[in-house]
Chain A
């Protein structure tokens, strides 16, 4: 029998602490859509998505009303488009536009999967595909793109890393009237996961089923509230409370995920345990870290506090769902977290501290605005560093940076909505052109040889 306090606790989590289901993402395999002509492929893609995901918005709304928990985003991820575009040369812009129309038709905000997996090698059609990313992002509204450049098993494809530095700069330039917004929809990964429900890095892996529902739960506000007033408590007591809170949040997510899958005729895939912040007050991961005991996120001790948070969330979440996956960790996007924005504005956190933090949490240098005149090779250097952290530590890492055209350190940029705002952060003024120009592949680390 439920107690009154338990009921009030759940009601308050939604009402006052921003508990929500951050995203219901339907993964759809597009492999049956491959045709010999790219227009025919694009038409097949459009039809398949509109049919499979036809009810995603209405089902999410019904579930939200039935269980009394807001479901913020309804999204779709698709097979890496580089594979679909391969028979017609690799340029997938026509397919991207069809995907964009489908997303618009469904009433969803983002569709992910304009992606390529080139962690070991890059085919000619994949190179062509990657070269089409700036155009695809500049001419569509809702399409998200990602490229996997490395893995613990294969090492890091430095040719792809070099190319992505240029691609990110070109994307910024092609969307300069919107402060380089296109780059906010592009992620460079190491150890990309095939079942991630979160944008911009979601794609539907080739190892996945035909139609799969993955759900991202959230609740930085709930965790923050739970550890408030724990003044004087030992750090392991904090970890225990975070763990229990994560359990409850994940159970809510699992219930919604299973129901959504049933009603949408899809398999239930995974629940992603990530704590995903938004720019509104009371929904910040940075504020949790500050509650644990930092005067500002970015102070010494930040990495330790984040490691504790990330691990406790996982422990509670894994107990709550038999199927956990995706990225599952705390997100630290700078422009999307009010605590991070404040810390960046007062200079308490810089890109180096962010890099250290990514060694202990998901996912990487995320939503960081950098000067518009940052050289492409420096962007590649940032990607290479992050990929190295992921490769060596067997974890997913990513880079989503925006070289904001015509802006420099001291300026700020506002992308609006969930993407938020951020001050331009300094990057090292020392270059790494020679390293990046070498190309080739960083060999897989010794611990990849497990067979």
Chain B
């Protein structure tokens, strides 16, 4: 199952490291990653393959903690919602 992880918050050192470490710990593979600054906010988008051991909801709960520690907002959403809204 594939999901999109979006990380939004104030830019500072170590955000990518923290998020990647949390994903690795759950055996989640990052397939694509991009990062940018939107309206002064650090914005990172990761396309991830969750495999079949963890659900989107469980990963969201884990990353929510990581986000709080790093001072950013992390969302995990099934990729289907983006496909539904943006492609015919």
Given contacts A4-B45, A7-B4, contact A68 B77 (CB under 8 A): yes
The interface residues of chain B lying within 8 Å CB-to-CB of A10 are 77, 81-82, 85-86
Tell which of B73, B75, B79, B81 has the most Cβ of chain A within 10 Å. Answer: B81
B9 to chain A, nearest CB (A): 12
How far does the alpha carbon of A2 sit from the alpha carbon of B82 in the complex, in Å? 7
Answer yes or no: A123 CB below 8 A from chain B CBs: no
Identify which of B55, B81, B87 contacts A255 (C-beta below 8 A): B81
- A66 contacts B78, CB within 8 Å? yes
Which B55-69 residues have a C-beta within 8 angstroms of A?
A: 55-57, 60
How far does the alpha carbon of A254 sit from the alpha carbon of B83 in the complex, in Å? 12
Given contacts A4-B34, A8-B43, contact A67 B81 (CB under 8 A): yes
Answer yes or no: A128 CB below 8 A from chain B CBs: no
Tell which of A3, A10, A15, A68 has the most Cβ of chain B within 10 Å. Answer: A68
How far does the alpha carbon of A188 sit from the alpha carbon of B43 in the complex, in Å? 49
Answer yes or no: B76 CB below 8 A from chain A CBs: yes
**Which residue on A lies nearest to B58, using beta carbons?**
A65
Tell which of A15, A65, A251, A255 has the most Cβ of chain B within 10 Å. Answer: A65
Answer yes or no: A161 CB below 8 A from chain B CBs: no
Answer yes or no: B84 CB below 8 A from chain A CBs: yes
- B84 contacts A251, CB within 8 Å? yes
Given contacts A4-B36, A4-B45, contact A65 B56 (CB under 8 A): yes
The interface residues of chain B lying within 8 Å CB-to-CB of A248 are 85-86
What 1/0 flags go to A47-68 for Cβ under 8 Å of B? 0000000000000001001111
Answer yes or no: B23 CB below 8 A from chain A CBs: no
Which size class do B's interface residues fall under? 20 to 34
What 1/0 flags go to B18-37 for Cβ under 8 Å of A? 00000000000000001010
- B86 contacts A2, CB within 8 Å? yes
The interface residues of chain A lying within 8 Å CB-to-CB of B15 are none
Answer yes or no: A37 CB below 8 A from chain B CBs: no
**Which residue on A lies nearest to B57, using beta carbons?**
A65
- B75 contacts A68, CB within 8 Å? yes
Given contacts A65-B60, A67-B77, A68-B75, contact A254 B36 (CB under 8 A): no
B42 to chain A, nearest CB (A): 12
- B84 contacts A255, CB within 8 Å? yes
The interface residues of chain B lying within 8 Å CB-to-CB of A69 are 81
Answer yes or no: B17 CB below 8 A from chain A CBs: no
Tell which of A3, A66, A69 has the most Cβ of chain B within 10 Å. Answer: A66
B58 to chain A, nearest CB (A): 9
A242 to chain B, nearest CB (A): 16
How far does the alpha carbon of A252 sit from the alpha carbon of B81 in the complex, in Å? 6
Which A141-186 residues have a C-beta within 8 angstroms of B?
A: none
Answer yes or no: A418 CB below 8 A from chain B CBs: no
A260 to chain B, nearest CB (A): 13
- B8 contacts A11, CB within 8 Å? yes
The interface residues of chain A lying within 8 Å CB-to-CB of B60 are 65, 68
Identify which of B45, B78, B80 contacts A7 (C-beta below 8 A): B45
Answer yes or no: A6 CB below 8 A from chain B CBs: yes
**Which residue on A lies nearest to B85, using beta carbons?**
A248
How far does the alpha carbon of A255 sit from the alpha carbon of B82 in the complex, in Å? 10
**Which residue on B lies nearest to A14, using beta carbons?**
B75
What 1/0 flags go to A14-55 for Cβ under 8 Å of B? 010000000000000000000000000000000000000000
How far does the alpha carbon of A11 sit from the alpha carbon of B82 in the complex, in Å? 9
Identify which of B38, B43, B82 contacts A6 (C-beta below 8 A): B82
The interface residues of chain A lying within 8 Å CB-to-CB of B85 are 6, 10, 248, 251-252
Identify which of A6, A66, A68, A254 contacts B86 (C-beta below 8 A): A6
- B84 contacts A7, CB within 8 Å? no
The interface residues of chain A lying within 8 Å CB-to-CB of B56 are 65-67
What 1/0 flags go to A248-284 for Cβ under 8 Å of B? 1001101100000000000000000000000000000
Identify which of B8, B36, B81 contacts A68 (C-beta below 8 A): B81
B30 to chain A, nearest CB (A): 15
How far does the alpha carbon of A6 sit from the alpha carbon of B79 in the complex, in Å? 12
Given contacts A8-B38, A66-B56, contact A254 B82 (CB under 8 A): no
Closest 4 CB pairs of A and B: A68-B77, A65-B57, A6-B86, A67-B81
Other A-B contacts than A10-B82, A11-B8, A251-B84, 14 sampled, CB-CB below 8 A, are A2-B82, A4-B45, A7-B6, A7-B45, A8-B38, A8-B45, A10-B81, A62-B57, A66-B78, A68-B77, A68-B78, A248-B85, A251-B85, A254-B84
A-side residues, CB < 8 A to B, are 2-4, 6-11, 15, 62, 65-69, 248, 251-252, 254-255
Could you jot down 18 A-B contacts, CB within 8 Å? A2-B86, A4-B34, A7-B6, A7-B82, A8-B45, A10-B81, A10-B82, A10-B85, A11-B77, A65-B56, A66-B55, A66-B78, A67-B77, A67-B81, A248-B85, A252-B81, A252-B85, A255-B81
